[in-house]
Amino acid sequence: MSVEAGRQGRDGLHLSRFATWDVAIIVVTVVFLIFAVTSVQHFGTSQNATFLVLELAPILLLALPMTLIIVTGEIDLSVASTVGLTSSAMGVMWNSGVPLETIMPLCVVIGAVLGAVNGFFVTALGLPSLAVTIGTLALYRGLAFVLLGDTAVADFPRSHSSWTIGTIGETPIPNVLVPMIVLAGLFAAVLHAMPVGRAIFASGSNRVAAAFAGIPVAKLKFWLYVTSGAVAGLVGVFWTLRFSSARADNAHGLELTVVAAVLLGGVSIFGGKGTLPGVLAGVVLLSSLQNALRLANVSSEALTVVTGSLLIISVLAPNILGRVRGVLRRRLRRTHVPAPNP
């Protein structure tokens, strides 16, 4: 009796292994790309690919540490504001004559410090990260405006800004793709192939059990926030150079796009579940969908609706699937169990 029940449970799982959302989203993304290349005019050109990469670069970069943070069950809504603040800081430093070679690492450090502030409040005081990072979202953006006001600093050296949008030699491969791939590989390795990744999943899956396995959960989260800040600092530099414009409102509102992409990639907002390839697919799907819809002259209104719907469906669909499967399994079991007493 119980053996039989066990086997059915396994069969159900067998199914679900192939229907996990991150696998699904990767498939959907690939299918969509093939569809778009063949049937959306101009989508398949090499130049459009370059544009697409440049467009999704900041989202992708911010999504990397965001994925790790959400897998631990926390969230960081302040990333876009951190980008804005480092961009402002970059402008101020450049105006006062600091060389770019000094500014760039400094910006990453500034980002890391801002991340550490988040990390402190979340881990040392145990405050809910949603509330903390809504607060620092406003705080960092405010400080960005305090630093640079409404002005823009735009006279960065052409060589640097054209590198950010340039391609490798004559190929259509954007320069930024190289660091993007390196970073994505690094984060994927950390999350999926290194001991610390196991600790990240454990912390998000069951904080108490993680602590019982000797994982320093608070310390881990703190350093993830620092990483998130540092990457946001890097994106701040990239953004500033790419648009050749250091401004306090750079990347305004980007945090929601990043969170949306991560969730779309199959990461559970409650932590413990998700894969980096899934997130990469989520980012690519979101960006290429918008790109293709724009090329097909679909209005920006529709883009907004599509983004929101995708997000809801990405969670709703597996839930509904799961429930359907549960009902089916119960039906099956009913038929196997001897009929209940009268």
Partner 1 sequence: MTVLARERDSEGGATSSTGSTLLDTVLRFRALGLLVVLAALVAVTAAVNPRFLSGSSIRDILLAASITLLLATGMTVVVLTRGIDLSVGSVLGLSAFCTAWLLSENPGVSIPVAMLVGLGIGAVCGLFNGSVVHFGRVPPLVATLGTLYVFRGVVYFVAGGSRINASDMPAGFLDFGSARVLGVPYLILISLVVLALVAVFLSRYRAGRDMYALGSSPEAAELAGIPAGRRKLTAYVLCGALAGLGGVLYAARYGTVDASAGYAMELDIVAAVVVGGVAIFGGSGSVLGAALGAFLLTVISNALPVLNIDQFWQRAIVGALIVGAIAVDRLVALRVAESLRKKGSHVG
Partner 2 sequence: GGTTQDSQDDTDSGSDDSDAVADPDADYESGLSLAMLPKSVNNPYFETSSEAAAEVVDELGGDYEYTGPSDATASSQVSYINTVSQQGTDVILLSANDPNALCSSLEQARAAGTVVVTFDSDVDADCRDAFVSQVDDDAVGETLIEMAAEQIGGSGTVAILSATANATNQNAWIDVIEEQIETNPDYADIELAGVAYGDDEDEKSFQETQGLLQANPDLDAIISPTTVGIAAAARYLSSSDQQGEVALTGLGTPNQMREYVEDGTVTEFALWDPGELGELAVYTGAAIASNIITGAEGETFTAGDLGEYTVGEDGVVTLGPPARFNAENIDDYDF
Partner 3 sequence: MPAWPPGERPAVRLTGASKSFGSVVALRDASIDIHAGEAHALVGENGAGKSTLIKILAGAHRPDSGTLEIDGHPVEFSGTAAAKAAGIAVIYQEPTLFPDLTVAENIFIGRQPRTRFGLIDRARMNREASVLFDRLGVPLAPDRPARGLSIADQQVVEIAKAISLDARVLIMDEPTAALSGVEVDRLFAVTRSLRDDGAAVLFISHRFDEVEALCDRVTVMRDGARVSTDRLADVTIDQIVRRMVGRELGALFPKEDVDAGDVILKVDGLSREGAYRDVSFDVRAGEIVALAGLVGAGRSEVVQGIFGVDPRDSGSVQVDGQTLPPANPRAAMRAGVALVPEDRRQQGLLLDLSIIRNATLARRHRLSTLGFLIGGSERREAEEWTGRLQTRYGRLGDPAATLSGGNQQKVVLAKWLATGPKVLIVDEPTRGIDIGTKAEVHRLLSSLAADGVAIVMVSSELPEVLGMADRILVMREGRLSGELSRADATEESVMFLATGREAA
| Backbone dihedral angles phi then psi of residue 73, each to the nearest 5 degrees | 90, 5
Beta-carbon count within 10 A of 216 CB: 14
Beta-carbon-side half-sphere exposure of residue 74 (alpha carbons within 13 Å): 33
Site for partner 2 in 52-81 (CB under 8 A): 55
- Number of residues binding to partner 3, judged by CB under 8 A: 37
Residue 101 partner contact from partner 2, partner 3, partner 1, none using kind-dependent CB cut-offs of 5 to 8 Å: none
| Backbone dihedral angles phi then psi of residue 321, each to the nearest 5 degrees | -55, -50
Which are the contacts of 55, defined by CB distance < 8 A and separation ≥ 6?
287, 291
Told to check if 341 binds partner 3 by CB under 8 A, we report: yes
Determine which residue in the list 38, 171, 297, 300 makes contact with partner 1, applying CB under 8 A: 300
Determine which residue in the list 15, 19, 34, 95 makes contact with partner 2, applying CB under 8 A: 95
Beta-carbon-side half-sphere exposure of residue 328 (alpha carbons within 13 Å): 12
Instruction: Give, in order, the Cα–Cα distances in Å from 276 to each of 96, 119, 182, 221, 261.
Output: 40, 22, 13, 18, 11
Binding mask 283-302 for partner 2 (x = CB under 8 A): -------xx--xx-x-xxx-
CB of 334 to partner 3, least distance (A): 9
Tokens of 213: 């396995």
Told to check if 181 binds partner 3 by CB under 8 A, we report: no
Residue 247 partner contact from partner 2, partner 1, partner 3, none using kind-dependent CB cut-offs of 5 to 8 Å: partner 2
Told to check if 137 binds partner 2 by CB under 8 A, we report: no
Told to check if 35 binds partner 3 by CB under 8 A, we report: no
Look up tokens 């069951």; give the residue. 206
Cβ-contact 237, 104 below 8 angstroms = yes
Look up tokens 């449970």; give the residue. 9
| Backbone dihedral angles phi then psi of residue 173, each to the nearest 5 degrees | -80, 115
The smaller minimum CB distance to partner 2, of residues 130 and 165, is found at 165
Told to check if 214 binds partner 3 by CB under 8 A, we report: yes
The smaller minimum CB distance to partner 3, of residues 90 and 210, is found at 210
Determine which residue in the list 24, 26, 70, 199 makes contact with partner 3, applying CB under 8 A: 199
CA–CA dist 334, 202 (Å, integer): 35
CB of 151 to partner 1, least distance (A): 11
Rg over alpha carbons for the chain, rounded to the nearest Å, is: 22
Told to check if 206 binds partner 1 by CB under 8 A, we report: no
Instruction: Give, in order, the Cα–Cα distances in Å from 146 to each of 96, 104, 120, 288.
Output: 16, 20, 23, 35
CA–CA dist 77, 57 (Å, integer): 18
The smaller minimum CB distance to partner 2, of residues 78 and 287, is found at 287
Told to check if 10 binds partner 3 by CB under 8 A, we report: yes
Residues found near partner 3 in the complex (CB under 8 A): 1-2, 5-7, 9-10, 13-14, 17, 189, 193-195, 197-199, 201-202, 205-206, 208-216, 272-273, 337, 339-342
Residues found near partner 1 in the complex (CB under 8 A): 75, 121, 125-128, 130-132, 134-143, 145-146, 149-150, 248, 253, 256, 259-260, 263, 269-270, 299-312, 315-316, 319-320
